[in-house]
Structure 1
């Protein structure tokens, strides 16, 4: 699967890169509009391609499946989350210490760099056919957080404690996302994440 390319540091994007980024955005935007209007399951790749003004072959150069429109940044989102965990102010391997980085991650989801996060989150959380893919991403986050905690402890394989802490912390974030409705504000999501960590602490 091919995605829009990003130029290296200090280099302006070429015309080809700008065109690829524009096509990527056009396809993703068209897909989200159709998912919102018709439902994810009722939307076809052919409809997305037509709405975006591209061929189906072009669609598949950017996305392997229509699911990938919603999950295209799995690796990037995981890397961002783990970087925030690694830079947390409290280095202890506890659920409480992970509240700060997961709140920061939730905040990054609602910033100007993620204009479609709320729509995508609502679609993922309310579409039964996407549950398996969503669970796979959640398990990836849990696994990577546990490995980060293990690295910090100087061990290769995460202990049961590392696994449990990662699972509970990630669950706080995903539970908040599940309750973040379409009309809620970015501040509402952060409040939900804080409440989830408070429940975990209790």
Structure 2
């Protein structure tokens, strides 16, 4: 039996190039021509290696989360206090979103906002991933409340939603050209409103 021809490209390298196209144009805005030209491969090679545009996007999204937001969330959740979690997350977002080596904004946020009915499955996938991030924050804040790190009347669900809303709003602002200083100011304002547990009196 004759073996198929080996791939003449590095999968990770072309995936990084596809990621940049999706990041700049969104899922629906990225045409197959845009993708194949950026990746330097033919359409048959794209389909042969990745199956479909949808599967290529999901792989690019995995890579995006590994290289940026995914590691940022892991580092934030591991912080010793709830306030430190939020500080790490929001200041990290400001730095990541304003990195001149990246396209502006957040792939996950922009991708969901720009998806039409034809890309409903992609929109649902992006929403699912954001919901998972919010759940991780909620679980962390529930632990903080149980440990006395948050006030007894704190609402972990509302705090997680608030934090995610600020982070997503920063992503939209970054897409519109907001500077690093402006994004860090938003993060600082959010931290000023953060609830603090009262010290126990002896």
Asked if these proteins are the same fold (TM beyond 0.5), I'd say: yes
Q: 1:143 and 2:135 equivalent?
A: yes
Question: Runs of at least 4 residues of structure 1 off by over 6 A?
Answer: none
Asked if structure 2 preserves the Cα contact closer than 8 Å seen for 1:146 and 1:165, the reply is yes
The structure whose RCO (Cα within 8 Å, separation 6+) is larger is: 2
**Runs of 5+ consecutive residues of structure 1 not aligned to the other structure:** 1-15, 155-159
Alignment match of 1:81 (pick from 58, 73, 88): 73
Q: Quick check: which has more Rg, 1 or 2?
A: 2
Per-residue CA distance 1:105-152 (angstroms, 9 max, x = gap): 214424759623537477436514365444323211110112233456
**Residue-pair matches, total:** 171
**Runs of 5+ consecutive residues of structure 2 not aligned to the other structure:** 1-6, 117-121, 148-153, 196-202
Q: Determine the C-alpha separation between the residues in 1 that align with 2:98 and 2:110.
A: 19
Q: Determine the C-alpha separation between the residues in 1 that align with 2:22 and 2:130.
A: 23
Report the counterpart of residue 60 of structure 1 in structure 2: 50
Report the counterpart of residue 103 of structure 1 in structure 2: 90
* Structural RMSD (CA): 4.0
Asked if structure 2 preserves the Cα contact closer than 8 Å seen for 1:49 and 1:59, the reply is no
Report the counterpart of residue 169 of structure 1 in structure 2: 163
Q: 1:182 and 2:172 equivalent?
A: no
- Give the structure-2-normalised TM-score: 0.60
Asked if structure 2 preserves the Cα contact closer than 8 Å seen for 1:82 and 1:148, the reply is no
Alignment match of 2:19 (pick from 25, 28, 41): 28
